[in-house]
Amino acid sequence: MTQPDAPTGAPPLAGPGGAEPGASPEAAVPDVHDLPGGLPSALEAVLMVADEPVPAVELAAALAVPVDAVLDALHDLAAEYRGDDGGRPRGFELREAGGGWRVYSAPVHAELVGRFVQGGQTARLTQAALETLAVIAYRQPVSRGQVSAVRGVNVDGVVRTLVARGLVAEVGQDPHTGAGLFGTTGYFLERMGFTSLDELPPLAPHLPDMDDLEGLDGLADLRAPVRRDGPAAPPTGTSQDAADDEGGAPAPAPLLHDVASDATHEPTDEGHA
């Protein structure tokens, strides 16, 4: 007995397994629970190829699993790598930083890793770069002129180095003066081990009250993130800047300075800024 013809406009019959005829097999997302190792192994596979922190929401979307399940698996993996369950602590760890999750070498092996990466040479950002980075981190968005007013030296070269290192970036312009405004980047948060700028160490205990700075040119107008009367003209002398790099001026953010000096162990050509 012959089958009646399908009505005009009816959808095509589903093929084996419920897939429509002609559908690409690559379009189907495999169930991670059916793969060897399940969800934890799938997360490890994805994180191994990530070159920056990946948010849990993005991981959940890629693996087609609920966000809560991804978070639970991430925390379990982090505990397993630390050896919390009595197992062997790994030489790497999984932690949340910079708005996402990523695999890092364990801090206890930092000296060995640094020796391998840097060929036995230890290079850090200069004192001037660390101080400038601290000012930008706490006062952002801030212009070069405002940073110069705080440090008392020309910071153009130092800012260029920080931009080249990916630690700061231009985030806008002052609507009144057109001066570029700078702020820290996600890479800065990652290197510092922060998830947001709210985790910056408190700075107020280490600074005088802003009312005490009213008589100092270029400092009193730093109350607001954006200057209304234009940036202060940066100093033109370079000898003072060089003297400052040798330790003449104290860091404006001692706590951030201490942390950043250990978090930015990478080669730099900023030996004169």
- Judgement on whether residues 90 and 134 belong to the same structural domain of the protein: no
pLDDT for residue 61? 93
Domains in the chain: how many in total? 2
Q: Is the pLDDT of residue 66 over 90?
A: yes
> Per residue in 115-143, is it b (16+ CB within 10 Å) or e — as a string?
eeeeeeeeebbbbbbbbbbbbbbbbebbb
- Judgement on whether residues 51 and 157 belong to the same structural domain of the protein: no
Q: Is the pLDDT of residue 27 over 60?
A: no
- Judgement on whether residues 146 and 89 belong to the same structural domain of the protein: no
- Judgement on whether residues 136 and 219 belong to the same structural domain of the protein: yes
Residues 74-124 have pLDDT tens digits of: 999 999 999 998 889 999 999 998 889 999 999 899 888 877 766 544 457
Q: Is the pLDDT of residue 43 over 80?
A: yes
Q: Which of 212, 226, 231, 162 is nearest to 191 (CA)?
A: 162
Distance CA 197, CA 138 (A): 9
Q: Which of 61, 94, 115 is the last residue of a domain?
A: 115
pLDDT for residue 184? 94
- Judgement on whether residues 178 and 98 belong to the same structural domain of the protein: no
Residues 204-225 have pLDDT tens digits of: 666 655 555 555 444 444 444 4
Q: Which of 161, 137, 136 is nearest to 149 (CA)?
A: 136
Instruction: Calculate mean pLDDT across residues 182-200.
Output: 90
CB contact at 8 A, 137 and 171: no
Amino acid at 5: D
- Judgement on whether residues 80 and 205 belong to the same structural domain of the protein: no
Q: Count the neighbouring beta carbons within 10 Å of the beta carbon of residue 268.
A: 17
Q: Is the pLDDT of residue 3 over 90?
A: no
Q: Which residues contact 71 (CB under 8 A, 6 or more apart)?
A: 56
Instruction: Calculate mean pLDDT across residues 231-239.
Output: 45
- Judgement on whether residues 137 and 258 belong to the same structural domain of the protein: yes
Q: Which of 82, 115, 148 is the last residue of a domain?
A: 115
- Judgement on whether residues 65 and 131 belong to the same structural domain of the protein: no
Q: Would 151 be classed as within a structural domain?
A: yes
Question: Which of 91-95, 148-152, 242-246 has the weakest average pLDDT?
Answer: 242-246
CB contact at 8 A, 205 and 67: no
pLDDT for residue 113? 83
Contacts 24+ apart (CB under 8 A), 64-67: 64/29, 64/31, 64/32, 65/32, 65/39
Instruction: Calculate mean pLDDT across residues 191-202.
Output: 88
Go through the chain and tell me how many residues it has: 273
- Judgement on whether residues 94 and 157 belong to the same structural domain of the protein: no
pLDDT for residue 260? 52
Distance CA 228, CA 177 (A): 8
> Which residue range is the domain that position 99 belongs to?
35-115
Residue given tokens 């950043």 in the structure block: 260
